Amino acid sequence: MSQNVQIIFDPPSGVYYGGQMVSGVVQVTLTKSVKVKGISLHIYGYGKVEWYDQSKKKKRTGRPDYTGTEEYLSMNTNLVQAENDTLELPPGIHSYIFKCHLAEDLPTSFEGTNGCIKYIVKVTLERPWKFNETYTAGFTVLRMLDLNRESPQSKLPIEFEHMQTKKCWICKSTPLVLVVKLAKTGFVPGETISVNGRITNLGPNKVEEVRIYLRRIVSYRAEKPIVSFMEECTDLVHKTSEHLQSGSSDIFVENVLVPEVPPTTLFHSKIIRINYDLKVEVVLGANEKNPFVLCPITIGTAPLLPEFTNSSAAANEEPAVSVPAEANVQNVSPVRRAPEIPPPSYEESIEKMEMKLDEGEEHPIQSTEFSPKCSVPNLQPTVCEKSWL
């Protein structure tokens, strides 16, 4: 092959916050002279959803029944443009710098079963009398969600209760009561959720165990052929506690570590919305309906801070700006962060959501699978003791 094309991001991780500048170098290495009409660059981002109608019994075709798309970013530029019909590039290494400002409200990169949000850099070599050659590389966009600014109510404690009684034709049994308390409902990846619960089991059934799930609920919205919705629920963490005999009560506490997942997103994409909750379920014997409570939580990128005792000092303190290491940021609106938060690291999401780049592209720079990264704040470990709030 007479040429090799590389798309090198700055920083090499290819991770950017909304409001920053995505930048890098397109490096074209030629072993011999090559004639081109031009070299073009396209930086774009989009969302796509699709699924099949599960009620149809006929054999699936290659075309989904419901689809929806949304464009978030599109920038085109010419890296090389021939003045006449063609331009001859000599052997050697040719480097072309690119930059593109990212809007602050871009949704976070995501890949699910029925949809995705992707950001891609595409380089096209336009060849005379030959097919164009395209090269693609994906990058990760993280939307900043500072819980202190965008979800201040999530620092408040909250309580959920469920009462279940078993009815018969002449009486109603004594109830089973499940109460769950959270000290707050806002968390970031790497933080621990302390789940405090109390079960009052005055009924005849033994509680076999208590199951706690940290769940992600993704809502997809298709627009063709008609507006339709699909919901995808994924158990990210699953924990269980010990059994409880009938006619007794007990308290329990479980610590759930928040894994590397994208933040809660509700309003920045019309076709994909991401929510999280805790499901606490009491498992009874066979043929019994398991009572449960659902506790909505918010996953952010900047953790909640304790209340300031000196309000004047807090007012005078400037928020720090979080920037991925080595990023080349110029003329960018600052990304506002809570003060004194260590810079985050970037890890692949817990499910390794591998995103296919443009299907059918001739030369994807990366493999056709691209794993977006998540922001993981560098938190100090905390110890959660058993308590009843």
pLDDT band for position 329 (50/70/90)? very low
Average pLDDT of the chain, as a whole number: 80
Question: Is 72 a domain residue?
Answer: yes
Q: Are residues 295 and 338 in the same domain?
A: no
Please identify, among 264, 299, 334, the residue that sits at the C-terminal boundary of a domain. Answer: 299
**Given the structure tokens 């609106």, which residue do they identify?**
333
In this structure, what DSSP letter does residue 199 have? Answer: E
In this structure, what DSSP letter does residue 59 have? Answer: P
Q: Are residues 116 and 198 in the same domain?
A: no
Q: What is the CATH number of the domain that holds 25?
A: 2.60.40.640
Q: Are residues 197 and 166 in the same domain?
A: yes
- Report the pLDDT value the prediction gives residue 245, as an integer from 0 to 100: 64
Q: Are residues 167 and 289 in the same domain?
A: yes
Q: Are residues 196 and 279 in the same domain?
A: yes
Sequence-separated contacts (24+) of 91-95 with Cβ below 8 Å: 91/30, 91/31, 91/32, 91/33, 92/29, 92/30, 93/27, 93/28, 93/29, 93/30, 94/27, 94/28, 94/29, 94/30, 95/25, 95/26, 95/27, 95/28
Q: Are residues 166 and 294 in the same domain?
A: yes
In the chain, % of residues over pLDDT 70: 73
- Report the pLDDT value the prediction gives residue 179, as an integer from 0 to 100: 94
Q: Are residues 51 and 141 in the same domain?
A: yes
- Report the pLDDT value the prediction gives residue 250, as an integer from 0 to 100: 83
Q: Are residues 341 and 233 in the same domain?
A: no
- Report the pLDDT value the prediction gives residue 347, as an integer from 0 to 100: 55
Question: Is 282 a domain residue?
Answer: yes
Q: Are residues 214 and 347 in the same domain?
A: no
Judged against a pLDDT cut of 70, whether residue 361 lies above it is answered with: no
- Report the pLDDT value the prediction gives residue 378, as an integer from 0 to 100: 44
Question: Is 383 a domain residue?
Answer: no
Q: Are residues 60 and 204 in the same domain?
A: no
Domain that holds residue 117: 3-145+316-376
Partners of 299 in beta bridges: 187
Partners of 186 in beta bridges: 298
Question: Is 385 a domain residue?
Answer: no
Question: Is 67 a domain residue?
Answer: yes
Max Cα distance, the chain (Å): 94
Q: Are residues 294 and 217 in the same domain?
A: yes
Q: Which residues are CB-neighbours of 101 under 8 A, at least 6 positions away?
A: 20, 21, 331, 332
Spatial contact of 341 and 303, defined as CB atoms under 8 Å apart: yes
Question: Is 305 a domain residue?
Answer: no
- pLDDT tens readout for residues 112-167: 999 999 999 999 999 888 889 999 999 999 998 999 999 999 999 999 998 877 66
- Report the pLDDT value the prediction gives residue 77, as an integer from 0 to 100: 95
Q: How many domains does the chain have?
A: 2
Higher pLDDT among residues 345 and 12, named by residue: 12
SS3 (DSSP) at 312: helix
Question: Is 194 a domain residue?
Answer: yes
Burial (CB count <10 Å: 0-12, 13-18, 19+), residue 374:
buried
- Report the pLDDT value the prediction gives residue 373, as an integer from 0 to 100: 60
- pLDDT tens readout for residues 294-310: 999 999 999 999 875 44
- Report the pLDDT value the prediction gives residue 381, as an integer from 0 to 100: 36
- pLDDT tens readout for residues 218-231: 999 999 999 999 99
Judged against a pLDDT cut of 70, whether residue 205 lies above it is answered with: yes
Q: What is the mean pLDDT of residues 272-278?
A: 96
pLDDT band for position 388 (50/70/90)? very low
**pTM greater than 0.85:** no
Judged against a pLDDT cut of 70, whether residue 346 lies above it is answered with: no
Judged against a pLDDT cut of 60, whether residue 317 lies above it is answered with: no
Judged against a pLDDT cut of 60, whether residue 330 lies above it is answered with: no
Q: Are residues 159 and 289 in the same domain?
A: yes
- pLDDT tens readout for residues 277-298: 999 999 887 777 888 999 999 9
pLDDT band for position 189 (50/70/90)? very high
Question: Is 306 a domain residue?
Answer: no
